[in-house]
Amino acid sequence: MSERLQAPRGTFDVLPDQAAARDAVAHQAQELLEAAGYRRIETPAFEPTELFARGVGEATDIVSKEMYSFDDGGGRSLTLRPEGTAPVCRAYAQHGMHKEPQPVKLWYWSPFFRRERAQAGRYRQFWQVGAEALGSEDPASDAELIVLLHTLLEQIGARELRLRLSSLGSPTTRAEYRGELQAHLRAHADRLAQDVRERIEVNPLRAFDSDHPGTREVMADAPRLVDRLGDQDAEHFAQVRRLLDVAGVAYEVDGTLVRGLDYYTRTVFEFTSDALGAQSGVGGGGRYDGLVEALGGPATPGVGFAAGVERMLLAASEQPAAAAPIELFVALDEGAVRERAFEVLLEARRAGLRAEMELAGRSLKGQLKQADRLGARLVAILGADGAQLRDMASSEQEPVEARTLAAAALRRLREGA
């Protein structure tokens, strides 16, 4: 016997039972975001590696160790997308969307790939629903996106949500702050985790994300970027907070929130669920005013969010509704003509019924059991001399002419409804 093959480590199959819940979330996201003027975009699953190196940042965990990169056979490096914002900004610049009325509001529902240590809630292929508003500096676009993500999470019943909010200011403030933070880290280098110490020069802000006890102590006294904002950035942040107050969305200002991507400026935010274990991040995002320009496009402000679909479902108290049961099962008794049964099936579907026919050669008793498992309300039983329509709830059966079976079934279902 051949060895039974398995899906790669850290990936999962979306089985039919789970697909219904995921579809329900996708449907809610689409309704919510499109009603707010966001239009769907889908970019390729792989991009030039340089897009992420430039867009997300060479020193980030994602780019330095989590990307699936490969040679395209012609000496060019491609990468399975680890995130969605850089590709959307690439598409915005490539298609001249800056010439359209601004802001351009886009949303996506797509798979992403990161070579992470697999565990509950952390996968190597996962899905995100995301939204981006490009071409507006207005704090109302930051607030709108946060409120939309909050609404979506509430709608799906995500439990024990918390919203952390901060501002990373402008690149200049950040560069100055970086020096200040590096000085603090160097002064306490002996208490830091080795990986944090090694990254003092390249990515000092990541020290805030460490769960190493010594590092956490050092970081508790570290200077905070949110306390060093310039006047305009501070005012922008204050306005975002005022708009969230107007919307009635609660948040905690948290100066330790830095997020793992280099492109953020000003607002950053993250929703976590205390109902999840170690991987508590459900979704987050922020403003990235320099990103489109860094990718060769015109200077364009932007803000967006991305939320993990699997994490959203893990955080939800009840899984969204499963698929609707079928309405009519077409059964074949002894002597039934297969072609006739097939015709009844097709007629029923044309009439708009959810219908299935026996395909496994079961006895009539077995077929009725199967119809029951499928939740069928009615069963059309075709025999050698005629047909019957059976009501599964009452077990009543009445003779019906095979030609009119679909119409009779439709009538019955309407009466019963």
Give Cβ neighbours of residue 9 (< 8 Å, ≥ 6 apart).
118, 124
* Dihedral (CA of 255, 256, 259, 265) sign: positive
Examine residue 377 and tell whether it contacts ligand AMP (CB under 6 A): no
C-alpha 260 chain-centroid distance? 18
Shortest reach from residue 83's CB to ligand AMP, in Å: 5
Examine residue 302 and tell whether it contacts ligand AMP (CB under 6 A): no
Burial label for 90, CB within 10 Å (0-12, 13-18, 19+), is: buried
Determine the Cα–Cα distance for residues 125 and 194; give it in Å rounded to an integer: 29
Burial label for 154, CB within 10 Å (0-12, 13-18, 19+), is: exposed
Partners of 122 in the beta sheet? 119
> Nearest 5°: phi and psi at 293?
-65, -40
Examine residue 122 and tell whether it contacts ligand AMP (CB under 6 A): yes
Determine the Cα–Cα distance for residues 283 and 307; give it in Å rounded to an integer: 4
Could you tell me which stretch among 50-58, 116-124, 171-179, 366-374 binds ligand AMP (CB under 6 A)? 116-124
Shortest reach from residue 82's CB to ligand AMP, in Å: 8
Crossing angle (nearest 10°) for helices 231-247 and 139-155: 40
Examine residue 144 and tell whether it contacts ligand AMP (CB under 6 A): no
Examine residue 169 and tell whether it contacts ligand AMP (CB under 6 A): no
Q: Which residue has the tokens 């009452």?
A: 394
Examine residue 281 and tell whether it contacts ligand AMP (CB under 6 A): yes
Query: What is the helix (H) or strand (E) element at residue 272, kind and residue range?
Result: strand 265-273
Examine residue 260 and tell whether it contacts ligand AMP (CB under 6 A): yes
Examine residue 150 and tell whether it contacts ligand AMP (CB under 6 A): no
Determine the Cα–Cα distance for residues 152 and 146; give it in Å rounded to an integer: 10
Determine the Cα–Cα distance for residues 72 and 316; give it in Å rounded to an integer: 40
Could you tell me which stretch among 14-22, 51-59, 123-131, 405-413 binds ligand AMP (CB under 6 A)? 123-131
Shortest reach from residue 240's CB to ligand AMP, in Å: 18
x/- letters, 14..43, toward ligand AMP (CB under 6 A): ------------------------------
x/- letters, 383..412, toward ligand AMP (CB under 6 A): ------------------------------
Residue 249 or 407: the one with the smaller Cβ distance to ligand AMP is 249
Could you tell me which stretch among 86-94, 137-145, 191-199, 307-315 binds ligand AMP (CB under 6 A)? 307-315
Candidate list 55, 103, 169, 284; residue touching ligand AMP; CB under 6 A:
284
- Give the nearest residue (CB) to ligand AMP: 308
Examine residue 269 and tell whether it contacts ligand AMP (CB under 6 A): no
Determine the Cα–Cα distance for residues 156 and 159; give it in Å rounded to an integer: 9
Compute the half-sphere exposure of residue 67: CA atoms within 13 Å on the CB side of its CA: 28
Examine residue 114 and tell whether it contacts ligand AMP (CB under 6 A): yes
Residue 84 or 204: the one with the smaller Cβ distance to ligand AMP is 84
Examine residue 264 and tell whether it contacts ligand AMP (CB under 6 A): no
Determine the Cα–Cα distance for residues 243 and 249; give it in Å rounded to an integer: 9
Examine residue 123 and tell whether it contacts ligand AMP (CB under 6 A): yes
Examine residue 308 and tell whether it contacts ligand AMP (CB under 6 A): yes
Examine residue 311 and tell whether it contacts ligand AMP (CB under 6 A): yes
Ramachandran area for residue 9 (φ above 0: left; ψ -120 to 50: alpha; else beta):
beta
Determine the Cα–Cα distance for residues 254 and 236; give it in Å rounded to an integer: 16
Q: Assign 296 to helix, strand or coil.
A: coil
Q: Which residue has the tokens 């509704």?
A: 321
Residue 46 or 239: the one with the smaller Cβ distance to ligand AMP is 46
Shortest reach from residue 130's CB to ligand AMP, in Å: 8
- According to CB under 6 A, which residues from 45 to 104 bind ligand AMP? 83
Could you tell me which stretch among 1-9, 37-45, 134-142, 279-287 binds ligand AMP (CB under 6 A)? 279-287
Binding site for ligand AMP (CB under 6 A): 83, 114, 116, 122-123, 126, 128, 260, 281-284, 306-308, 310-311
